[in-house]
Structure 1
Amino acid sequence: MSKSFHYCPNCSSQNIEFNFRKLSCKDCEMVYYQNVATATAVILRRKDEILFTVRNKEPQKGKLDLPGGFTDPNETAEQTCQRELKEELNLELNVSEFKYLMSQPNDYEYKTIPYKTCDLIFESNFPENAELKLELEEIVEVKWIKLSEIKLEEIGFESLRNAVSFYLENHN
């Protein structure tokens, strides 16, 4: 955070300190906590394949990803999954179709600001005969990859590599 913030957002002082997740101003005594943000990801399965997206933005541009995103205020994690699948892939699923798999901590740096996230990973079956329409600003393409051919090192975020690895170990 110190490489991104040089001034107190309250009084503009440069007399600030950042320790782990707390920004403190020594002049006006303002304290700002950078709490963990909630994000979701969905493992969509079709027979022996998982749907991956290819990121079109930093961080991790060009790397494999799972559909999902940040949770909005007053939104459940399942509603986030539903909204993100609609936005990213034009895919409509009912919130009851998401089964919680696990959580993973993640580091997400966006425009030089590091965020700590708690990624909640869900799984769901891909609906038969569904047609995808990609949100091209976010996603270059989708790839259906057989479970036996997934290369974890091609997945952009460590949290999702861990989740996919766990899924592969427990859901073949």
Structure 2
Amino acid sequence: MIKSFKFCPNCGHSINNFDFRRMSCNNCDLVYYQNVAAAVAVILKKEDKILFTVRNKEPKKGMLDLAGGFIDPDESAERSCQRELEEELGVTIPLEDFNYFTSQPNNYEYKGIPYKTCDLAFVADFPEKEIILEKEEIAEIKWISINDINLNDIGFDSLKRVVEMYIASLK
């Protein structure tokens, strides 16, 4: 639900017509659709372990996450994976090494504004390179064995489902 808009961004008139996906203004006839934002998450694997990041800011500060983020305009999902790993971990992986795994819907609330996202999950082998953390976003990394992963430690429900599906796919 678009709970953050009380006034039309076009004419400033008070808004009272909105539902799960759209808002409309009776004064100027603007219709604003809350489209889904695309995001990526990368399961970086090494032997029987997955690399998790620990979030250093809200939402879900202090919880486990997978490296990734929002897809920029005019960017492919694979390029977004590559860019996010470069930004967050200082690691470059060739585009062809990202293998699509699954997607999951997510609710991402940032500074009181709810975003509906579609999280595209990819799998890649860790390239055995030095990690240089982007400290503003990531507090630390953790390599966790598949058998020791506690899904409740993962911040976002979409990524809990992704990791759960990934673990099941290995059996």
TM bracket (short chain): over 0.9
Q: Counterparts of 1:8 and 1:16 in 2: how far apart (Å)?
A: 10
2:147 corresponds to which residue? Answer: 148
C-alpha contact 2:72 2:80 (8 A) present in aligned 1: yes
Three-state SS of the structure 2 residue aligned to 1:7 is coil
C-alpha contact 2:5 2:15 (8 A) present in aligned 1: no
1:121 corresponds to which residue? Answer: 121
1:5 corresponds to which residue? Answer: 5
Q: Counterparts of 1:171 and 1:94 in 2: how far apart (Å)?
A: 24
CA drift at 1:15 = 3.5
Question: Which amino acid is the alignment partner of residue 120 of structure 1?
Answer: L
Query: Which runs of at least 4 in structure 1 moved beyond 6 Å after TM superposition?
Result: none
The two structures, once aligned, show a CA RMSD in angstroms of: 1.0
Question: Which amino acid is the alignment partner of residue 122 of structure 1?
Answer: F
Runs of at least 5 residues in structure 1 that lack an aligned partner in the other structure = none
Question: Which amino acid is the alignment partner of residue 112 of structure 1?
Answer: G
**What do residues 102-128 of structure 1 show as CA deviations (whole Å, max 9, x unaligned)?**
000000001111111110000000012
Q: Counterparts of 1:104 and 1:162 in 2: how far apart (Å)?
A: 8
Between the two proteins, the alignment pairs up a number of residues equal to: 171
Runs of at least 5 residues in structure 2 that lack an aligned partner in the other structure = none
Q: Counterparts of 1:155 and 1:64 in 2: how far apart (Å)?
A: 4
2:77 corresponds to which residue? Answer: 77
Q: If the length of structure 1 is used for normalisation, what is the TM-score?
A: 0.97
Task: Kindly report which structure 2 residues correspond to 1:1-172, keeping only aligned pairs within 5 A, or say none.
Answer: 1-128=1-128, 130-171=129-170
Identity of aligned residues (%): 58
C-alpha contact 1:107 1:114 (8 A) present in aligned 2: yes
Question: Which amino acid is the alignment partner of residue 147 of structure 2?
Answer: S
Q: Counterparts of 2:17 and 2:110 in 1: how far apart (Å)?
A: 21
Question: Which amino acid is the alignment partner of residue 7 of structure 1?
Answer: F
Q: Counterparts of 1:143 and 1:86 in 2: how far apart (Å)?
A: 17
Q: Counterparts of 1:145 and 1:156 in 2: how far apart (Å)?
A: 15
CA drift at 1:171 = 1.9
